[in-house]
Amino acid sequence: MTLQDADKKDRPMRLLLVNPNMTAAMTDRMAVIARATAGNRAEIVPLTATRGFPYIASRAEAQIGGSIALEMIADNLDGIDAVILAAFGDPGLAGAREIFDLPVIGMAEAAAMSAAMLGERFSVVTFSPLMTRWYDDCIRATGLGARFTGVRTPEAREVDVANVRTGLRGELVRLANSAAEEDGADVVILGGAPLAGLAPEVAPEIRAVVIDPIAAATAQALTLATLGAGFAGRAWKPAAKASAGLAPALAAAIAMEARP
């Protein structure tokens, strides 16, 4: 066992919670849920994007947010055991797993994987139809498309993301029950960072298991960090490459330069 390994064994794990949205209130709410899930097993280190979008709501915005997320991770890796991408749709997830040598967990993927262990079929309920195709793509990318019943949303396209948990509560409950009764979903995922924390509040009103994605992602981050799987020898890791104009820490990660 190296001195570094011994140091990790003697301290709680540290999970980096990266919100590529710019809304700090979302980060704060998700950090509360992550801390409640982790208990004394891990310290949660939350980060909020300082540029980009107040809330990522499309595939184009996710491409931009994913690049920002990679920079945020690269700048804050010291002492971190696992990373949680705290945005449904998992912007930057595949790229982060290619270049960083630790577990990186996406909210949407974690929720889908958890749903597959809790029931035979699952649905996503979210607050705006603008996200439907993007969320559908994201869930099907997990390989669980055959067990996915689809995305249900209210009809209204324009919403106040700061108030969806309260303003749309009744409609979201109705949609979740429709997913259970009409689509045969055993499990319902409440998708979208603005809905973080709503699942345990509405679960008694819904005739299916209800998943909070940030709680699922935190639980899986704890599990994967505990397993301590080696990452340096991954077959899919790309070759080291020089770059120009990138943030220094991200450029160093892509070049596979050793951290000081």
User: For the segment 117-143, what is each residue's pLDDT rounded down to a tens digit?
Assistant: 999 999 999 999 989 999 999 999 999
pTM: 0.91
Within a domain: 259: no
Within a domain: 7: yes
Domain membership of residue 42 as a residue range: 3-107+216-254
Kindly state whether residues 157 and 190 are assigned to the same domain: yes
Per-residue model confidence (pLDDT) at position 154:
93
Per-residue model confidence (pLDDT) at position 232:
53
Within a domain: 24: yes
d(Cα 1, Cα 37) in Å, to the nearest integer?
Answer: 29
Within a domain: 17: yes
Quick one: pLDDT band at residue 7, thresholds 50, 70, 90?
Answer: low
Stretch 21-47: mean pLDDT, rounded?
97
CA-CA distances (angstroms) from residue 232 to 3, 28, 50, 99, 237?
A: 18, 32, 30, 10, 8
The C-alpha angle with vertex 206 and arms to 155 and 217, in degrees rounded to 5, equals 85
How many separate domains does the chain show? 2
Within a domain: 121: yes
Please, are residues 34 and 59 in contact by the beta-carbon 8 Å criterion? no
Within a domain: 187: yes
